[in-house]
Amino acid sequence: MAVTGVLRPGHIVLRVLDLDEAIRHYTHVIGLFETGRDEQGRVFFKAWDENDHHSVVLREADSAGMDYFGWKVDSEKTLDELAAKLEASPLARDTLWLAPGEHLATGRRFQFTIPTGHRFELYATKEALGCMTGYENPDPWPDGLRGMAPSRFDHALLYGRDIDSTLELFRDILGFDLTERVVGPDGEFLIGIFLACSNKAHDVAFIRSEQDDRLHHASFILGGWHEVLQAADIISKRNVSLDIGPTRHGITRGETIYFFDPSGNRNEVFAGGYIWYPDRPTITWHDREIGRAIFYHDRKLNEAFLNVTT
């Protein structure tokens, strides 16, 4: 299918408590590559197979968490059209245009706050640095990889109160599909929603929470189960704080491991999943099966995993 409108996750801006420690983690543990710094003290990174200048941004602050999440759209025309729809909608608040260059190597951006309190933005242009293998007669992977070496930043899981209105915004204004959902005993009350703008199992997900504007995890994609197991070895070798895994999700079918950066932001690396097409029915998980939905192997809930956010 042709991917139009919102193309994919473009970047996530994370707050960290110690910038030097965070840089070491995201370069040597995860395996991203630094691509620039700006006058505000933000540091920019990309994964080896990403074309654009960056996908992860770190900013030192007094508290960990997410500043904002950027989505790349297919054209300046689409950017204007979606911005107009968001400005006219009660579902988006605190809308704001930002000039080119305010965010390094990126064109003009349209920011807005969604019903769960998270800050998002849309943009159409970003400087291209290219995949590290190049685009002519490329090798399957480049020399000089390190750490877990994900090929891209993939998605984020976010917590907030009003996921019903958030679903409406993403589906009816931004054109996302609802790939999976977790529902309560009545079969309708939404506990979690998994949304895609492409043909992935999800590009962003939301869990209903008593707190708004919370980050559960930022996730990076690996090539397969063996690489997830190797990530577990790296976590142990480098004495990184392990959260849970390696294991498999029922939701999205992903093979996964979770761990924390030095500031307490949860990271995930995962592999697998399935291809999404718009004619595929939404997968529904019932709350009585939530253990199997989250951790398919041991089928048990982990309270720390559910409740620790930044």
Active site residue 11: no
Active site residue 53: no
From 26, 123, 159, 258, the catalytic residue: 258
Active site residue 202: yes
From 216, 217, 227, 255, the catalytic residue: 217
Query: Cα separation of 84 and 82, whole Å?
Result: 5
Query: Cα separation of 56 and 202, whole Å?
Result: 18
From 155, 159, 180, 216, the catalytic residue: 155
Active site residue 286: no
Query: Cα separation of 257 and 248, whole Å?
Result: 8
From 50, 227, 255, 268, the catalytic residue: 268
Residue reference for tokens 């473009």:
10
Residue reference for tokens 């994370």:
14
From 159, 202, 216, 255, the catalytic residue: 202
* Biggest distance spanned by C-alpha atoms of the chain: 54
- Cα distance between the two ends of the chain: 36
E strands, the chain, are 6-16, 33-37, 43-46, 56-60, 65-73, 93-98, 109-113, 119-123, 152-160, 177-183, 190-196, 204-208, 214-221, 242-248, 254-260, 266-272, 283-286
Query: Cα separation of 43 and 56, whole Å?
Result: 8
110 DSSP β-pair partners: 97, 122
Q: Residue 230 contacts by C-beta under 8 Å, 6 or more apart in sequence? A: 148
From 11, 103, 118, 249, the catalytic residue: 249
Enumerate the active-site residues. Answer: 155, 202, 217, 249, 258, 268
